[in-house]
A and B are shown apart, each in its own frame.
Chain A
Amino acid sequence: MEAKRFPFQLIKTNTPPLWMRPLIPVLILLVTFLITAGLILTAQANPFQAYYYFLVSPLSSQVSFLEVLVKSTPLMLTGVAVTFAFATGYYNIGAEGQLYAGAIAAAWLGIVLGGLPSVFAIPLMIIGGFLAGVAWALIPALLKVRLAVDEVVTTLLMNSIMAYIVSAILNGPWRDPTSGWPQSPEIAENAMFFKLIPRSRLHVGFIVGIAAIAILWFVLTQTSFGLKMRAVGLGKPAAQFAGIDVGRTTLIAALISGGIAGIAGVSEVAGIQYHLIGDLSANYGYTGVIIATLGGLNAIGVFVASLFFGLIDTGAQTVSRAMGVPVYLGEVTQAVMLLVALGMYLLQRYRIVRRA
Chain B
Amino acid sequence: MEVFLVNLIAATFRVSTPIVLAAIGETYSERAGILNLGIEGIMYFGAFVGFLVAEKSGSLWLGLFIAIASGILFGLLMGFFTVTLGVNQHVSGLGITLLLTGLTLFTFRLFYGGRSTPPSIPSFQALNILPDNPILGPILSQYWLTYVTFLVIVPLAWWILYRTNFGLKIRSVGENPEAVDAAGISVPAVRYAALAIGGGLMAAGGAFLSLFQLGAFTHGIISGRGWVAIAIVIFGNWHPIRVMLGGLIFGGTFALQLRLQAMGLQLPIPYETFLALPYIVTIIALVIAGRNASYPAALLKPYRRE
Shortest CB distance B140–A (Å) = 31
Give the docked Cα–Cα distance between A318 and B99 (Å): 21
Tell me whether A153 and B98 are in contact (CB under 8 A).
no
Tell me whether B105 and A331 are in contact (CB under 8 A).
yes
When A161-B280, A338-B98 are in contact, do A328 and B286 touch as well, CB less than 8 Å? no
Interface residues of A, count at CB 8 A: 50
Give the docked Cα–Cα distance between A328 and B271 (Å): 31
- Interface flag for A154 (CB, 8 Å): yes
Shortest CB distance A39–B (Å) = 6
Per-residue CB contact flags for chain A residues 157-192 toward chain B (1 = under 8 Å, else 0) read 111110111011001100000000000000000000
Tell me the interface secondary structure of chain B in the complex. Answer: helix
In B117-134, the 8 Å CB interface with A consists of none
- Interface flag for B223 (CB, 8 Å): yes
19 A-B residue pairs with CB within 8 Å: A1-B189, A39-B106, A91-B90, A93-B90, A150-B234, A156-B227, A157-B279, A158-B283, A161-B276, A161-B280, A168-B272, A172-B270, A327-B109, A332-B99, A332-B103, A335-B99, A338-B95, A343-B87, A346-B87
- Interface flag for B37 (CB, 8 Å): yes
Measured between beta carbons, the chain A residues less than 8 angstroms from B224 are 156-157, 159-160
Tell me whether A342 and B110 are in contact (CB under 8 A).
no
Shortest CB distance A311–B (Å) = 17
Give the docked Cα–Cα distance between A154 and B279 (Å): 9
- Interface flag for B150 (CB, 8 Å): no
Give the docked Cα–Cα distance between A2 and B110 (Å): 46
Measured between beta carbons, the chain A residues less than 8 angstroms from B273 are 164, 168
Tell me whether A148 and B290 are in contact (CB under 8 A).
yes
Tell me whether A149 and B86 are in contact (CB under 8 A).
no
- Interface flag for B287 (CB, 8 Å): yes
B270's contact among A171, A339, A343, by CB below 8 Å, is which?
A171
Given contacts A147-B290, A159-B227, A343-B87, could you give 20 more A-B pairs where the C-beta distance is less than 8 Å? A39-B103, A93-B94, A149-B287, A152-B37, A153-B230, A154-B283, A160-B276, A164-B272, A168-B271, A293-B88, A326-B106, A332-B106, A335-B95, A335-B98, A338-B98, A339-B95, A339-B96, A342-B81, A342-B88, A345-B87
Give the docked Cα–Cα distance between A43 and B283 (Å): 42
Shortest CB distance A56–B (Å) = 22
Measured between beta carbons, the chain B residues less than 8 angstroms from A332 are 99, 102-103, 106
Give the docked Cα–Cα distance between A173 and B98 (Å): 33
B184's contact among A1, A91, A335, by CB below 8 Å, is which?
A1
A329's contact among B99, B106, B185, by CB below 8 Å, is which?
B106
Give the docked Cα–Cα distance between A293 and B89 (Å): 12
Tell me whether B95 and A342 are in contact (CB under 8 A).
yes
Tell me whether B85 and A342 are in contact (CB under 8 A).
yes
Measured between beta carbons, the chain A residues less than 8 angstroms from B283 are 143, 154, 157-158
A331's contact among B81, B86, B98, B223, by CB below 8 Å, is which?
B98
- Interface flag for A62 (CB, 8 Å): no
- Nearest residue (CB) in B for A39 is B106
- Interface flag for B92 (CB, 8 Å): yes
Give the docked Cα–Cα distance between A338 and B290 (Å): 31
Tell me whether A328 and B105 are in contact (CB under 8 A).
yes
Please give me the 9 A-B residue pairs with the lowest Cβ-Cβ distance, nearest first. Answer: A331-B102, A326-B109, A335-B99, A160-B224, A168-B272, A332-B102, A328-B106, A156-B227, A164-B276
Measured between beta carbons, the chain B residues less than 8 angstroms from A287 are 98
- Nearest residue (CB) in B for A157 is B279
